[in-house]
Structure 1
Amino acid sequence: MSNTELPHKCSIPQKMRAIVLPQPDEQIHLNDVEVDVPECANNELLVKVEYVGLNPVDANFAKAGFCEWQYPHILGLDAVGVVVKANKGVFPNVGERVMWHANIGGQGVLSEYTTVPNFAVSVVPDGLSPSQAATLPCAGMAALISLDKIAIAEGDTVLIEGGSGAVGQFAIQYAKQRGADVFATASKRNHKMVKQLGADAVFDYNDKKLCDKIRRELGPQGFDAVIDTIGGDATSRNIELMRFCGRIACLQPLPHFDQNLMYRRAPNISVVSLSGAWLANSLCAQQWLSFMGNLLLEGALSGDIKTPSISAVDFSAESISAALKNQIAGGFTGKQVVQISS
């Protein structure tokens, strides 16, 4: 038995609490309900959920909904919990603490129990708190995928938009580990924190002379690569700041591009989508989520990677509704984490 004092013969109830979205709603009104504890299929684990990390994508889908959901829908994608049931021969074993990024096409993880395919989880090592592990999946995996898509190597110059956000924080640290020169944008109050994470230069994204100041610092050559967490007009601006045939990883929907800009820069544009691993039914991609989870857990345990600060959220519809509104409003640098059970 690892990471927990949970006995192997755990009493599993028939009903559980869950936080559901009755219907997509601009105001984000969630409900606290009681539903059946799910049954796990052959390769699935039944997990008693301990912590759920909230992300901007949770808030966006609470407002707009998702085409594959039926309502009411349980929200939440990033979870940490303890395995309480697994079929014979299925690893991880009962009693193991696991972390994962859930299937967006299925029910979410803001519930006392949930199921997850065994090949998509990562075992949380002893010595790392479960709440800390809950900050890792979505933001950390998005950062790792982005760096792989733009093939960051030693000596590259990379711009990381939104350096004080969770994705930006992980991307800065991993880019520095790969030997890149890191430029980042952030609000002025967060410049010190972003520098402490390893950014070589930080710029205020509200500065009207942002592009001029970047060019003065960078020189005429342009960035080798960009991680664009902002989207919209910032995407076109970032392509303008790249060298010819530069590389950009986009975490937001692509804007309409000016064709002259495309001819002048000929950018290599990559789209980052964690959900695609599930929506494409790609077993290889789902297993890759587990592999990235292992990397993140190892980095957090060793101290090589600093995790975002945690803001605790109560396991109630009212508190989570407010927290998701806060995700959209922005202006904070940490991760909101819901404690489901202890």
Structure 2
Amino acid sequence: MRAVTISRHGDESVLELTEQPIPVPADGQLLILVRAAGVNPVDWKFREGEVRTDRRFPLGMGWDAAGTVVATTTADGPAVGDEVYGMLPLPYAGAYQEFAVLPVSAVATKPVKLSFAQAAAVPLAALTAWQSLDAAQVTAGQRVLVHGGAGGVGHFAVQLAKARGAHVTATASPRNLDFLCLLGVDEPLDRTADDQHGIEPVDVVIDTVGGRTQQDSWRLLRAGGTLITLPEPIDETYRIPGITGRRVIVAPDGEALRNIGQLIDSGAVRVEVQDVLPLEKAAEAQLISRTGQVRGKVVLSL
């Protein structure tokens, strides 16, 4: 099978389109004919060696897959021929390839309204948003601020928070403010403007950006609020007493994907795909992702 692999850590030049044996599913796993694979920031961080694995080179790439089940080792879950989407467990990549093995517990039936390319854009990013909102115990009536609301995780976070009945504020670049409005954001904010001091204190901040953004987020929260950070651990230097701060690292969850899929098919959640590139352009896809300027997601088509 065709597969994008790396034989060492490095820049995008280490990505190789290679021939690999088709993986064999173990107990509790499915073999999927991959039709599309999502591209996430963790992909290039893994390629560069920031995310480590105990497996030996050559290593596969990617965690988001959408395709058709071609073999299963269990009577539970999707059957052969079913169209599914799911996330491989971190740190074991292997979605940028023609066949992928996933735990049955990590997949769900593909939303009817989505193409394979759109479906591949969902799992890791939407699950990160879902699990972040769960960690913050977001409920109806709360005020939620999402930094980077037009990005992969961000555009799901704002919509899922709205689906829970929250009042949502989100930051984005000026070109994406109208897009935030399309997603249902109550208060779109220009992230390049120094106007965040005047916003009403919020109950929850979802920080998809990190760095200075995390540092500044503490003072935007009310007493008893929660800061969820995604790209990096909590910087204890800036912690404010009385505010909860924690980092969320995504985990596969087929049941959550089923719930997210229902929201997608109902029209409550929109999936934004900026670019769809062929598998052989994986390096270009990761370069686009690395800019941090992607609206929604980049996807590889197989």
Query: If the length of structure 1 is used for normalisation, what is the TM-score?
Result: 0.83
After TM superposition, give the deviation of residue 58 of structure 1 in Å.
0.7
Q: Which residue of 2 aligns with 1:63?
A: 48
8 Å Cα contact 1:28-1:63 kept in structure 2:
no
Q: Report how far residue 92 of structure 1 moved.
A: 1.6
Q: What is residue 122 of structure 1 aligned with on the other side?
A: 108
1:125 to partner: Cα distance? 4.3
Secondary structure, counterpart of 1:36 in structure 2:
coil
> Could you say which residue in structure 2 is the equivalent of 1:271?
247
The 1-side partners of 2:152 and 2:74 are apart by 38
Of 167, 175, 189, 2:153 maps to 167
Cα contact 2:88–2:103 (8 A) shared by 1? no
Whichever residue aligns with residue 246 of structure 2, its letter is S
The verdict on how the C-alpha distance between 1:98 and 1:176 changes in structure 2, with shifts beyond 3 A counting, is same
- 1:43 corresponds in structure 2 to 28
Mark the runs of 5 or more structure 2 residues left unpaired by the alignment: none
Cα separation, 1, equivalents of 2:191 and 2:77: 46
In the TM superposition, what whole-angstrom CA distance separates every residue of 1:220-251 from its partner, at most 9, and x where no partner exists? xx211100111112112101211122101110
Conservation of the 8 A alpha-carbon contact between 1:77 and 1:109: yes
Match of residue 307, structure 1, among 263, 271, 287: 271
Distance 1:107 1:265 in 2: 38
Q: Does the Cα contact within 8 Å between 1:233 and 1:255 map onto a contact in 2?
A: no
Cα deviation for residue 107 of structure 1 reads 4.2
For residues 41 and 67 of structure 1, do their structure 2 counterparts lie closer, same or farther at Cα, with a shift above 3 Å needed?
closer
Cα deviation for residue 79 of structure 1 reads: 0.2
1:294 maps to 2:280: no
> How many positions carry a matched residue from both structures?
301
Relative distance call for 1:41 and 1:200 in structure 2 (3 A) is same
Structure of greater Rg:
1
Q: Secondary structure at the match of 1:49?
A: strand
Alignment match of 1:333 (pick from 289, 295, 300): 295
Structure 1 unaligned runs (5+)?
Answer: 1-15, 278-285
1:181–1:200 CA contact under 8 A, matched in 2: yes
TM-score normalised by structure 2 residue count: 0.94
| AA matched with 2:29 | E
Residue 124 of structure 1, CA deviation? 1.6
2:6 to 21, 40, 44: 21
> Per the alignment, do residues 112 and 238 of structure 1 end up closer, same or farther by CA in structure 2, a change over 3 Å counting?
same
Does the CA contact (< 8 Å) of 2:28 and 2:74 recur in 1?
no
How far apart are the structure 2 equivalents of 1:272 and 1:60? 17
The equivalent position to 1:253 in structure 2, one of 232, 235, 246, is 232
* RMSD (CA atoms): 1.7
